[in-house]
Every structure is written in C-alpha cells, then in structure tokens.
Chains A and B, each alone.
Chain A
C-alpha cells in the first residue's frame, strides 16, 4: 500500500511563528504536492515538486515556501504564520508518467492564533 504520511494531525501556532509541515511518501513518486483545503474553495495547490530540489508555484504560493532535499520528503514552510493561513493542509504524491493518480496524506489541521 502506498503511504503518504504527514508529521502532525493537528497544530496550533501563534501569529508570526515559523511553521514546518512535513510529508513523507514511500512509493518513490517523482511528484509531490501541497494543497490547502477550505470549505467552498476545494483543494488549492500551493506548491508542487516534480523532482528533488525542483519546485513550482501553484495557485496560492504567497506566504509559503517548500523544500525537497530528498525524493521521499516534501516540506511546507510558513515563514511567518498568519490567521488567514488557518486551514487543512494536504500533502500528496504521484508518479510523473503512466498512472498519475495522486495519493494523499491524512491532512494537518493548522490553527494560527
């Protein structure tokens, strides 16, 4: 079974803190993604990476950065957390070619106070 694991299920952080969300996959997938999930807005792509050290901005990259130093790990960084970044964050991974089905982590519910 493919496993995508996010380091935390729930996080509460203060405004202005630097926040790290970690994601690890065990299927040797080339692609990895970070989305935020908000009611009525669906899944919005923050950043994605198609290879180690490669990253591309998604639709809402402002206020976020990412790091992919190893193929299996993709980190999302909130440089200075703000209350409007309170959301559910989903990590996903997929192959680049062939079957591009995305496999998701369990999600991290981040609350910024």
Chain B
C-alpha cells in the first residue's frame, strides 16, 4: 500500500535552532517525493522536490531509500518558517498522496 507518514503533528522550536520534520513513505515503485508548505491564509505550494536536490529557503531534504525517509531539515529556523508542512508521494506520475502534515511553530 502507498502511504506517507509524518509522525509529528506539531513541532515547536526557537528561532535560530535546527529543525527536522520527519517523513516516511511506503511505495513499491520508484518514488517521487515532495515537501509542500501552507503559510497562513495562503494556498498550498511546493517547497521542494527530491529530484531537484536543491535548497529552498534554507530547507533541504534527502531521499533515503533504505530507510524510506525524506526528512526536511533547516539548520537555523526563522519565524517566517512557521507554517503547515506536508510530505507527498507521487506514484508513477498519476496519483499524489499526502501525509497528515506537521505544523511548525518557530518561537522568537
């Protein structure tokens, strides 16, 4: 079965602290993984995708096929990073499924 698991519903860190949002997936094929972000009162939008292997707004994510994980990391959190983050899995270019989301709260 295809599944995306985000174990933390809420993550609260202080400004300047490192942050890691966890994501594990279950998929028998070759996965395409994404992180999406939803800021307050804005529509859901792409943050980064594993194929690009780039850093966006200081965030990076590495696909670990052995551990079936795609954790999102940032070394120094900023207040403007406070948002809802969703990990997503695209299956063969058709269906895209999402995890339950993690709300990140960065305290001043």
Contacts and interface: CB of A to CB of B under 8 A. Distances in A.
Nearest to A58: B95
Interface stretch (A17-25, A64-72, A76-84, A95-103): A95-103
B49 A101 contact: yes
Interface SS majority for chain B = strand
B6 interface: yes
Contacts of B98: 35, 42-45
A43 B86 contact: yes
A40 to B, nearest CB: 6
B33 to A, nearest CB: 11
Contacts of B44: 43, 90, 92, 104
B55 interface: no
B94 A50 contact: yes
A40 B9 contact: yes
Contact of A102 (B6, B96, B99, B100): B96
Contacts of A59: 97
Nearest to B103: A39
Nearest to A45: B97
